[in-house]
Structure 1
Amino acid sequence: MAAASSQLPPLPDEGAGGIYRDADRLSHALLAAFTAGISPISLLQAWQDWLLHLSTSPGKQAEVSAKAFEKLARLSDFLFRCGLGMGSATPTITPLPQDRRFQHQAWQAFPFNAQQQAFLLSQQWWHNATSGLPGVGRRHERLVEFYSRQILDTVSPSNFPTLNPEVIDKTFRKTGANFVTGANNLVEDLFRLIDGRPPAGAENFRPGLEVAATPGEVILRNELIELIRYAPMTETVKHEPILIVPAWIMKYYILDLSPRNSLVRYLVQNGYTVFCISWRNPDGDQADLSLDNYRRLGVLAAMDAVEEATGSGRIHGAGYCLGGTLLSIAASAMARDGDHRFASLSLFAAQVDFEEPGELGLFVDESQITLLEDVMWAEGTLDQRRMAGAFQMLRSQDLIWSHIVHEYLLGERAPMTDLMAWNADSTRMPYRMQSQYLRQLYLNNDLVGGRFCVEGRPVHLEDIRAPVFAVGTETDHVAPWRSVFKLTYLLDTDIDFVLTTGGHNAGIVSEPGHPGRSYRRLSCRHADIRPDADEWAKNAIATYGSWWPAWVEWLMRHSSREVAVDRSDAAGGSKAICAAPGRYVLER
């Protein structure tokens, strides 16, 4: 490893400044421990930009003052109507569709409806004040608007036991027992956090037993991956196997959860030979692993093993999230070099163009990346828990405040699910790889710009000729569907794009029979004109149900024939190292 890494390009400021730079790194690493890994300088710059431009914009000041008087007048009118005996008067403002804090019927009665209306009007005014200010950078405007929303969420009346009618009602009915239960929940959660244990109930979802339980064998293990080959469940299988490349930011079994919602099991049951990469959870000794190591030791090593195990020179590649981004890079380099082993590519919630990365992009700028690099320099890796605060703030109403209200004020433990348990099973990311990923892809967008190099030469996405099946999810905060949709513009090949209901994880784990699921589909041949994303979404016809059957049907059209299963070698045979799910998935 050391010999290979010596030829890698240095990271920014690597080796520069000596002891002085090291002192800065240690200082920044210490700072990150108190800020959940978020750069306070980046945040202060955004607020400074907004405040300075607001102070020199009398027109905007007059506008927000007028808006304030307007909101006050609307609230006064509502209170007046309530005072006339209309306790459940028609509200002057309604919560956004995704805001579920005020759904309880008691919020519609006085005085709780007045508190709700005052809060929602204040929230609307802050949006008016923080947006549309000339001169403020687009990213700074979004940061200020985002953080003002987070600050307001902390003072929502739903968060206070004396202002929340649902909590008041529960307290009277339980004579305060809900607070005792809530206190016990809080103490248990704090001890689990201190001890580094998963949240309550996660112990009921153990890899290899309740989750990641599809039968199979590990047939390859190197310093970065284990490759799992799943045992067939049919008498014949498609000639072309499927290689799944999951994201390395979490454990692989998001695609092999419980038997009822395992995408891996679904594929095997439909007659496919399935292989899946299980990434190692790196430690400080592997800090020098690069993005190219993930390509070579991950995707390419797995493809060689799949070809050897099956004898098929054509492979269906499927990548989820960051795994889809890595798969796109590998496929581009292979196409450039005349390697055409991919029979098709399937990319689930995967971005290649990071110009519009969504709200997660608010946390990526030079200041933020430097802070994270210094944390990784000190520790060798980036622990996912350091960024947990940033991810939770993207959906703070659901992941923070709703959790506090239900678990600690109402005393109601939400039942643990397989998806929730998986989400708590975090991994670390090595210093060099994560820095390259953030700088070259997120910050500089080098892949789309033709500046991303593999083995010293740039790669181009348009070199890919394998047909592509891309999936975006409607409420994705990590890989917004419009960003994923850009694949239809960037790839010069046949592409099917599916937009499914759900978020980044739940939209992909969307098994047949899942209630409330639907999807819209666009099929483009390589010479077709690609439509505008929003125009297409508005006019596309929704199909109710899971998108999984549509994908399997698409895979079938791009598979050549069926072959009989050789039971003697169906699950790795003599090359099997151990039973699935292997060793790496159990590493902490």
Structure 2
Amino acid sequence: MPENDNPKATTFRLPDPALVSRTMADVAERGQRIVTDFLKRQSATPADPDPLKIGNAFLEMTTRLMANPARLVQAQLGFWHDYLTLWQNTARRMLGDDPRPVVEDDPKDRRFKDDAWREHEVFDFIRQSYLLSARYFRHVVEGTEGLDPKTAQKVDFYTRQFVDAMSPTNFLLTNPEVLRRTAETGGENLLRGLSNLLADLERGRGQLRIRMTDDTKFKVGENIAVTPGKVVFQNDLMQLIQYSPTTETVLKRPLLIIPPWINKFYILDLRPKNSFIRWAVDQGHTVFVISWVNPDAKLAEKGFDDYMLEGPYAALDAIEKATGERHANVIGYCLGGTLLACTLAHMAAKRDTRVKSATFFTTMVDFEEAGELGVFIDEEQLAALEQKMQKLGYLEGREMATTFNMLRANDLIWSFVVNNYLMGQEPFPFDLLYWNDDSTRMPARMHSFYLRRMYQQNDLVKPGGIELAGVKLDLRKIKLPTYILSTREDHIAPWTSTYRATQIYKGPVRFVLAASGHIAGVVNPPDAGKYSHWINEELPPEPEAWFKGATELAGSWWPDWHRWVSALDRTMVPARIPGEGGLPAIEDAPGSYVKVMATD
């Protein structure tokens, strides 16, 4: 593009011939190796042409659309009217006029942050043209009549995936920022991007595994997950970590944290400045954390009841031996919270009163409205998934990670495509994204049970709907003090769904809503001064009514939780040193289980 047409002056360079030669030779060698390896594995396990089972959903949508052609024609006429207006406005801009945009992007959409998208007539036309097309696709899909809710949700979700993929920001010739970089570097950014692409294909053994962060800058136990402590117990499914105190006295009741095993526990212990675990220790809690194993085929038959018995039940037994204290406060995060709810219902039936308070972070127990994860859970997809897990004995870690990334595709997929492959830049070192990429496997039996009985059939919320270890569970028997923390922008556990637990548990319940999402809303230390939270002492049946009556407070919810849990029992005792109680230390925190990678 001519320099005087570009709102930002650009210096043009010619590519370095030696660099081009070396890069292309490297591409040829690595590309042949990647393709050979990929084809070898494909011949052993032929690929499913429709692994996500979306073909039938779109076929049904098309049939419904054709049954009402008048509505489709009306939508098309509206689209073309807006498009012609855009053409006219672009011509007027080129003549010096300043017409109002036909359509504007969301101010929160970072894809179009570069000034050229608005200052340059051509790129403004491309941007608005894309936004009009995206709006048209969504309007047509949302207006399709007669689809069952599950099919409509699937069609809407994958239409948005398509629309996001077609964004002009994702292509060299329609992204002004990439064009500028290409001119400035003489195309070296594209050569580096090609090398980055090959490296990601090598990491995924022929399948694209996008690198989100510079993973060479992090090592578990060295600069993340570094809160001092000891592993004091372990079994096939977990290691139990007891953290070293930082206060002379501690609260009498120990604190047990049950993280999800879909990801690793150190989301709560990334760095000292944002570690919930370290902060809780500093508040005078004796903190124990379950570190789940990264399972392989040997654990294929481990079920949800095994996770309950070898997880929280075994941890409570070990905590009593380590501290001499029978009672405990317990936190469950996401799937760990679902397991905690199951355990509490099981304990209620057994008249086991060791847990004196329960805290749930972003936890669903009623899965009727499970959000966009429900797109991946229908009979076709579950059957295909179970067939795959039967062969391996587990679900591959990357499959679950890809599913979660698709829920925020622009942030967790396409932004890295642009940065790594088009801009030719290395990803920024970011502890949260390192954790996000440190995926875990799922035992076949457990995962099938979880998806079918909870997500698909919503049996957990039904009294007696689920039986674990010989006990039919009834969540309404849970009568202990309960703190429920949800996040307003949660794509994984929508807060309007997690709120339903307030109408199920029979003990005193406090519901708190944090700003931001499933991770950032939880990992929000007070010193950061970020993200507000909402409180409301009333618990009306509908979440919207709760929010309408809620009060917004600045900053982190962590102090609110500490005030709540410490008020239940303020008794203090001398600090407990890991390994000096009834259980000897096995190894230093964070232990060895957490260091096992899904690729090992």
Alignment of 1:33-432 (within 5 A): 39-40=51-52, 42-86=53-97, 89-108=99-118, 109-194=120-205, 201-432=214-445
Closer/same/farther in 2, CA of residues 183 and 62 from structure 1, 3 Å limit: closer
Matched with 2:38 is: none
Matched with 2:553 is: 543
- Structure 1 position 76, deviation (Å): 3.6
- Cα shift readout 1:375-403 (whole Å, capped 9, x = no counterpart): 11000010121233322221111112111
The 1-side partners of 2:202 and 2:453 are apart by: 39
Matched with 2:19 is: none
- Structure 1 position 181, deviation (Å): 3.0
Kindly indicate whether the alpha-carbon contact (under 8 Å) linking 1:28 and 1:374 is maintained by their aligned counterparts in 2.
no
- Cα shift readout 1:508-527 (whole Å, capped 9, x = no counterpart): 11112225311112334xxx
Closer/same/farther in 2, CA of residues 93 and 536 from structure 1, 3 Å limit: farther
Matched with 1:18 is: none
The count of corresponding residues between Structure 1 and Structure 2 is 553
Kindly indicate whether the alpha-carbon contact (under 8 Å) linking 1:232 and 1:570 is maintained by their aligned counterparts in 2.
no
Closer/same/farther in 2, CA of residues 220 and 184 from structure 1, 3 Å limit: same
The 2-side partners of 1:143 and 1:77 are apart by: 36
For structure 1, which segment, 419-428 or 91-100, has the greater mean C-alpha deviation from structure 2 after superposition? 91-100
Matched with 1:511 is: 525
- Code of the residue aligned with 1:452 in structure 2: it is I
Provide the secondary structure at the position in 2 that maps to 1:350. coil
The 1-side partners of 2:197 and 2:111 are apart by: 21
- Structure 1 position 210, deviation (Å): 0.8
Question: Gapped runs of 5+ residues in structure 1?
Answer: 1-25
Closer/same/farther in 2, CA of residues 292 and 188 from structure 1, 3 Å limit: same
- Structure 1 position 163, deviation (Å): 1.2
Provide the secondary structure at the position in 2 that maps to 1:466. coil
The 2-side partners of 1:537 and 1:414 are apart by: 38
Matched with 1:9 is: none
Matched with 1:522 is: 536
Matched with 1:555 is: 565
The 2-side partners of 1:546 and 1:410 are apart by: 36
Matched with 1:586 is: 595
Kindly indicate whether the alpha-carbon contact (under 8 Å) linking 1:60 and 1:133 is maintained by their aligned counterparts in 2.
no
- Structure 1 position 420, deviation (Å): 1.0
The 2-side partners of 1:152 and 1:253 are apart by: 34
- Structure 1 position 432, deviation (Å): 0.4
- Code of the residue aligned with 1:482 in structure 2: it is T
For structure 1, which segment, 577-586 or 115-124, has the greater mean C-alpha deviation from structure 2 after superposition? 577-586
Provide the secondary structure at the position in 2 that maps to 1:162. helix
Kindly indicate whether the alpha-carbon contact (under 8 Å) linking 1:243 and 1:274 is maintained by their aligned counterparts in 2.
yes
- Structure 1 position 194, deviation (Å): 3.0
Kindly indicate whether the alpha-carbon contact (under 8 Å) linking 2:105 and 2:131 is maintained by their aligned counterparts in 1.
yes
The 1-side partners of 2:212 and 2:69 are apart by: 50
Kindly indicate whether the alpha-carbon contact (under 8 Å) linking 1:467 and 1:495 is maintained by their aligned counterparts in 2.
yes
Matched with 1:533 is: 543
The 2-side partners of 1:140 and 1:194 are apart by: 33
Closer/same/farther in 2, CA of residues 364 and 574 from structure 1, 3 Å limit: closer
The 1-side partners of 2:296 and 2:210 are apart by: 18
TM-score (norm 2): 0.87
- Code of the residue aligned with 1:585 in structure 2: it is V
Residues 1:500 and 2:500 aligned together: no
Alignment of 1:444-459 (within 5 A): 444-450=457-463, 451-459=465-473
Closer/same/farther in 2, CA of residues 572 and 507 from structure 1, 3 Å limit: farther
Kindly indicate whether the alpha-carbon contact (under 8 Å) linking 1:229 and 1:571 is maintained by their aligned counterparts in 2.
no
Kindly indicate whether the alpha-carbon contact (under 8 Å) linking 2:323 and 2:581 is maintained by their aligned counterparts in 1.
no
Closer/same/farther in 2, CA of residues 464 and 39 from structure 1, 3 Å limit: same
Of residues 480, 495, 505, the one that matches 1:466 is 480
- Structure 1 position 191, deviation (Å): 2.9
Provide the secondary structure at the position in 2 that maps to 1:127. helix
- Code of the residue aligned with 1:39 in structure 2: it is P
The 2-side partners of 1:225 and 1:393 are apart by: 29
The 2-side partners of 1:243 and 1:161 are apart by: 50
Closer/same/farther in 2, CA of residues 386 and 552 from structure 1, 3 Å limit: same
The 2-side partners of 1:270 and 1:232 are apart by: 10
Closer/same/farther in 2, CA of residues 113 and 572 from structure 1, 3 Å limit: farther
Kindly indicate whether the alpha-carbon contact (under 8 Å) linking 2:330 and 2:357 is maintained by their aligned counterparts in 1.
yes
Kindly indicate whether the alpha-carbon contact (under 8 Å) linking 1:282 and 1:428 is maintained by their aligned counterparts in 2.
yes
Matched with 1:17 is: none
Closer/same/farther in 2, CA of residues 89 and 400 from structure 1, 3 Å limit: farther
- Cα shift readout 1:343-370 (whole Å, capped 9, x = no counterpart): 1111111111111111111000111111
Matched with 2:586 is: 577
The 2-side partners of 1:416 and 1:566 are apart by: 36
Kindly indicate whether the alpha-carbon contact (under 8 Å) linking 2:360 and 2:485 is maintained by their aligned counterparts in 1.
yes
- Structure 1 position 280, deviation (Å): 0.8
- Code of the residue aligned with 2:350 in structure 1: it is D
- Structure 1 position 412, deviation (Å): 2.6
- Structure 1 position 182, deviation (Å): 2.3
Kindly indicate whether the alpha-carbon contact (under 8 Å) linking 2:213 and 2:430 is maintained by their aligned counterparts in 1.
no
The 2-side partners of 1:455 and 1:426 are apart by: 28
- Code of the residue aligned with 1:60 in structure 2: it is R
- Cα shift readout 1:131-176 (whole Å, capped 9, x = no counterpart): 1322111121121122122222222211121211111222223333
Of residues 500, 510, 513, the one that matches 1:486 is 500
Provide the secondary structure at the position in 2 that maps to 1:318. strand
Kindly indicate whether the alpha-carbon contact (under 8 Å) linking 1:324 and 1:350 is maintained by their aligned counterparts in 2.
yes
Provide the secondary structure at the position in 2 that maps to 1:344. strand
CA RMSD, Structure 1 to Structure 2 (Å): 2.4
Matched with 1:19 is: none
The 2-side partners of 1:403 and 1:342 are apart by: 44
- Structure 1 position 200, deviation (Å): 5.6
Closer/same/farther in 2, CA of residues 114 and 295 from structure 1, 3 Å limit: same
For structure 1, which segment, 501-510 or 114-123, has the greater mean C-alpha deviation from structure 2 after superposition? 501-510
Provide the secondary structure at the position in 1 that maps to 2:295. coil
The 2-side partners of 1:562 and 1:405 are apart by: 54
Kindly indicate whether the alpha-carbon contact (under 8 Å) linking 2:489 and 2:515 is maintained by their aligned counterparts in 1.
yes
- Structure 1 position 471, deviation (Å): 1.2
The 2-side partners of 1:404 and 1:566 are apart by: 49
Question: Gapped runs of 5+ residues in structure 2?
Answer: 1-40
Kindly indicate whether the alpha-carbon contact (under 8 Å) linking 2:367 and 2:497 is maintained by their aligned counterparts in 1.
yes
For structure 1, which segment, 196-205 or 74-83, has the greater mean C-alpha deviation from structure 2 after superposition? 196-205
Kindly indicate whether the alpha-carbon contact (under 8 Å) linking 1:380 and 1:430 is maintained by their aligned counterparts in 2.
yes
- Structure 1 position 550, deviation (Å): 1.2
Kindly indicate whether the alpha-carbon contact (under 8 Å) linking 2:138 and 2:156 is maintained by their aligned counterparts in 1.
yes
Provide the secondary structure at the position in 1 that maps to 2:288. strand
- Structure 1 position 83, deviation (Å): 4.1
